[in-house]
Amino acid sequence: MKTKLYLLYGGKSVEHDVSLKTAVTVLLSIDESRFEVYPIYITRDGLWCSPGRLSKEGLTVEQLIARPSSTDAARTIGEILTGVLALPGPKVVMPLLHGPNGEDGTVQGLMELLNIPYVGNGVLSAALTLDKAMSKQVLAQADIHQTEYVVCRYEEWKRDEKAILSGVEESIGYPCYVKPASLGSSIGISRCLNRKELLAGILEAFSYDKKLVFEREVSGREIQVAVIGNERPLASLPGEFIHDHRFFDYESKYFDKQLRMSIPAELPNGLTERIRELAIRAYQAHGCEGLARVDFFLDREGDLFLNEINALPGFTNFSMYPVMWERTDGTTYAQLVEKLIDHAMDRHENKQTIRYSK
């Protein structure tokens, strides 16, 4: 019997469009002799619906979009749970939801309640990695080097704006970055050279999140590592994007045709293995399972700083994560998807041995 593979995509997130691109790529790669694919679309308002079974031939993003039967989120989720997800036979869910309301442990918690295996990180690791402020505390506890940072909540900002501005200038200085704590794809992030830009960046970031992280700029290179696995994770060869952007923002990441990947990244002797080891340490410190991309800064003096962990990295066939694996050990995109599904099944099987009564 084929395994039913449920793809969750879209979502109530500013990274909605990125998720749709990911879903198309994954759907086109699926081995239909092993899996029956059931796409589940989540609208920008958080409503769940399905476009039905789709053909790979000529598949477009537009075909993935469906119209919900109701404007009530609970009703639409219920219809999917009692209809599509309740079909008999072996099943696994693959959340392809970037950002809040999907990458942050919310959907993962629902899958845990339903006792359905799912690809990627669990509730705790998903929540920790998406929240940059919490992740930095975990990294500090694990004694992993990172750049100076300050965290600010909206209530603190409203109470004393001048104190926050002065505190950032004194402890971080310029240039600095202001970031929404729980968002990806560089959305809402600003590089600031003075107080005027800092103020504008804060107001922009607060429109996406109610908790911000300020970081000192590290001038140098950004090195990325792909990690896969559960209890015994593996790290890929490091890679980097070659580009001329001072700030690698959303437009640069997704629309710059001049971007070039360098995999493996050209690094001094010994540094490649050190970065791979640190990536696994950070992965395990956050309790990650399935997959994550770990990003580092390497400054001009050769100092290494862990930037962040992305629990659902870009995952089209042109994204850094799958390409790093292909150039590390020859794993194709389709093989990578199947490996992630196998890890999900293994984790779920292990959890079935847990006792819930005396």
DSSP-H helix ranges across 131-270: 132-141, 154-159, 161-171, 195-206, 250-255
Residue 301 CA to residue 320 CA, distance in Å, equals: 25
For the chain, domain boundaries: 3-118, 148-216, 220-350
* Three-state secondary structure string covering 116-141: CCECCCCHHHHHHHHCHHHHHHHHHH
Give residue 317's pLDDT.
85
The burial class, CB within 10 Å (0-12 / 13-18 / 19+), for 164 is buried
Q: Between helices 271-285 and 132-141, what is the axis angle to 10°?
A: 110
Q: What is the CATH number of domain 220-350?
A: 3.30.470.20
Q: Give the pLDDT confidence score for residue 256 in this predicted structure.
A: 53
Q: How far is CA 320 from the centre of its chain?
A: 12
Cα torsion 102, 104, 109, 114 to 10°: value is 20
Q: Looking at beta carbons, which pairs linking 321-327 to residues 24 or more positions away fall under 8 Å? A: 321/226, 321/291, 321/293, 322/226, 323/239, 323/261, 323/263, 324/224, 324/225, 324/226, 324/236, 324/237, 324/238, 324/239, 324/263, 325/226, 325/228, 325/236, 327/236, 327/237, 327/239, 327/263, 327/264
* CA–CA separation, 291 and 289 (whole Å): 6
CATH annotation of 3-118: 3.40.50.20
Helices (H), the chain: 16-29, 61-64, 73-82, 106-114, 123-130, 132-141, 154-159, 161-171, 195-206, 250-255, 271-285, 320-329, 333-351
- The structure's pTM equals 0.91
Question: What's the DSSP call for residue 2?
Answer: P
User: What are the per-10-residue average pLDDT scores of the chain (358 residues)?
Assistant: 95 91 95 95 97 91 95 96 95 94 94 97 96 95 95 96 95 95 82 96 94 94 97 97 62 61 92 97 97 96 94 90 96 97 96 89
What three-state secondary structure class fits 228? strand
Q: Look at residue 177 in the predicted model and tell me its pLDDT.
A: 96
pLDDT for the residue 241: 87
pLDDT the model gives residue 50: 96
What fold does the segment set 148-216 form as a domain? Dna Ligase; domain 1 (3.30.1490)
Peptide linkage before 264 cis (omega within 30 of 0): yes
Crossing angle of helices 333-351 and 320-329, rounded to 10°: 100
pLDDT of residue 255: 53
